[in-house]
Amino acid sequence: MKNVSLLGLLLLIFSCSPEEQEAVKTYSIDQFYQTTSITGGVFSDDESKLLVSGNETGIYNAYEINIADSSRKQITFSEEESIFAIDYVPGTNEILYSSDKGGNENSHIYHLAADGTVTDLTPGEEENAQFGGWSEDEKSLYYLSNKRDPRFFDLYKMSIESWDSELMYQNNEGLDVGAMTEDESMWSVSQPITTSNVKLFLYDRENDEMTEISQDPGSYGSSGFSSDNRFFYYITDVGKEFAYLVQYEIATGERTTLYEAEWDVMYSYLSDNETYRVVAVNEDGKNTLALIENASGDKVDLPSIPDGDITSVNMADSEKQIRLSVGTSKASNNLYVYNLESKELKKLTETSNPDINPDDLVAAEVVRFESFDGLEIPAIYYKPLNASADNPAPALVWVHGGPGGQSRVGYRPLLQYLVNHGYAILAVNNRGSSGYGKTFFQMDDQNHGDKDLKDCIWGKKWLQSQDYIDSEKIGIIGGSYGGYMTMAAMTFYPDEFNVGVNFFGVTNWLRTLKSIPPYWESFREALYAEMGDPYTADSVRLYNISPLFHAEKVKNPIMVLQGANDPRVLQIESDEIVEGVMKNDVPVEYIVFPDEGHGFIKKENEIKANSQILTFLNKYLKQEVAD
């Protein structure tokens, strides 16, 4: 992918007259949230409809979209908890969906019958259940559940006639179950050793035997079996910087590389009749998708959609139609259906608020800058349209979650809202971020709050080097791990950033690493290997990098936002850092949402949070005087 050059973008902007620049319209947070978010898109049995989830009512509910006329019908009517559609029950118009309670992440699987009756199929009070697909005869569903032991996910099979379940695989060793053969004779399991080293096995059910597929240490992930049980597919980065797709012949152990690129292969799967293979590549912060005809190995040309990036696809069972999810940094995803035989492309949704002119929004750009040690750091950049040397803009360094996450090109209402109101945003992919090779990914292991934080500070310096940025008005913002980085910056480098906005960020690593949800057990040791083990001598370093124990150093305004039901970063983390910073007579604004978890999902809460963020920034970063 060719990146738009920063020089080219600047030439476009500065070629506009002052009158044209002043014509940029600003929009309210309510207008931004009149945009609808739509997720999913699975075909009905007769392939006349798509089952999706959308949040137009304020929270997510399930909807059907009629492919012929694009009409949309709401089929669930929750007013409290978001509902995420899973699939149609085979041979019926009934559906399955998942939902938790207030963001507690204990998702259950629900059945919505034709008469409107809703049944919780996984009703354990502390149960976390994950849908795993349908049996080959379409008479049963598979799912993973931790109801037997809250630490481990066992594999179950449930009849769709009686809705009774049976245990297929009791997971006593904290492994992660992956793909399964159509005849249920074999499935893959994985064991995280570190966040970059995973062991992969094939489990032979009849003989109760495990065969290790992983060879040298590296990342391994399951990508399914062939229908004849001859091949197993997996994605690995062993011997290379970037992950690639491998075909493993089960009888002989022969391995063949099927697909590789100069970036990570994110996922791959076969269509129902194995005519096609879908491959997604994480190319410099956005998805690049390939549809490959298996018989010939040739790529199928997908339609070109103006100003759109195909972010995901779903193939119909007939292999005649394909659902495309298409979005940009300026627009939320829309759904299209493409007929592979007629080559007809049909747009089914219009998610953007028609009152918002997309020309008033900013396209994200990939940029790179040198950090303190010369390492090149990638970032996603948003420059306000009106920013100029005569009208310099305040700026924010945005830090993603993780550790090991990635800021990507895509639509985020908060980012566009802030940019539309005059803030430049540099979303830094500091060392330790995924998507840029395994060497880059491992660079922050047991070094968190040090070099990765300095990357963010050098991102600030890059912003200061732009003549259209107000170098004296730069803040930092982030959620989860990005919230930790925000508070670490405000604590350990108190003179660097004028303000900090922290979404549910870790402030006490000792507590967080000891109190992770029980169902993270399979990942616990891998997380400890990267972050440090709080029960060992690592606790000294974890104490030293935890902002809570050094809150007296914070001297610039902060804002903290927290969900009361967050199972990953407990509310006490935010309570205590707020209390500690307030002792410094530093301005602190704190918002707790009683019905949210690790991330805000209800429009009402998002509107409140984001509008107050702008008010906070205008007051303490722009230093505007309120009317």
Domain ranges of the chain: 6-30+362-508+554-620
Cis bond leading into 150, ω under 30°? no
Beta bridge partners of 204: 186, 209
List Cβ neighbours of 203 (8 Å cut-off, separation of 6 or more).
169, 186, 187, 188, 189, 209, 210
- Residue holding tokens 């107050």? 612
- Determine the average pLDDT of the residues in 22-48: 93
CATH class of 6-30+362-508+554-620: alpha beta
User: Rounded distance, CA 618 to CA 621, Å?
Assistant: 6
List Cβ neighbours of 271 (8 Å cut-off, separation of 6 or more).
277, 278, 315, 319
User: Rounded distance, CA 58 to CA 70, Å?
Assistant: 21
List Cβ neighbours of 301 (8 Å cut-off, separation of 6 or more).
none
Structure tokens at 169: 């695989």
Reported as a pLDDT band with limits 50, 70 and 90, residue 42 is very high
Structure tokens at 260: 């590789």
- Determine the average pLDDT of the residues in 229-245: 97
- Looking at the predicted structure, is the pLDDT value of residue 10 above 70? no
Reported as a pLDDT band with limits 50, 70 and 90, residue 243 is very high
Strand 558-563 and strand 588-593: the pairing is parallel
- Determine the average pLDDT of the residues in 570-578: 96
- Looking at the predicted structure, is the pLDDT value of residue 470 above 60? yes
Distance of CA 67 to CAs 341, 348, 442, Å? 16, 7, 45
Q: What is the 3-state secondary structure (H, E, C) of 462-506?
A: HHHCCCCEEEEEEEEEEECHHHHHHHHHHHHCCCCCCCEEEECCC
- Determine the average pLDDT of the residues in 260-276: 95
> Residue 95 half-sphere exposure, CB side, CA atoms within 13 Å?
24
- Looking at the predicted structure, is the pLDDT value of residue 14 above 80? no
pLDDT of the residue at 2: 34
Enter the DSSP assignment of 349: -
- Looking at the predicted structure, is the pLDDT value of residue 252 above 70? yes
User: Rounded distance, CA 130 to CA 426, Å?
Assistant: 35
Reported as a pLDDT band with limits 50, 70 and 90, residue 13 is very low
pLDDT of the residue at 311: 85
User: Rounded distance, CA 623 to CA 422, Å?
Assistant: 13
- Looking at the predicted structure, is the pLDDT value of residue 403 above 50? yes
Least confident of 23-32, 111-120, 299-308, 459-468: 299-308
Strand-by-strand arrangement of the 186-194 sheet: 176-180, 186-194, 197-204, 209-212
pLDDT of the residue at 482: 97
- Determine the average pLDDT of the residues in 249-270: 96
- Looking at the predicted structure, is the pLDDT value of residue 20 above 50? no
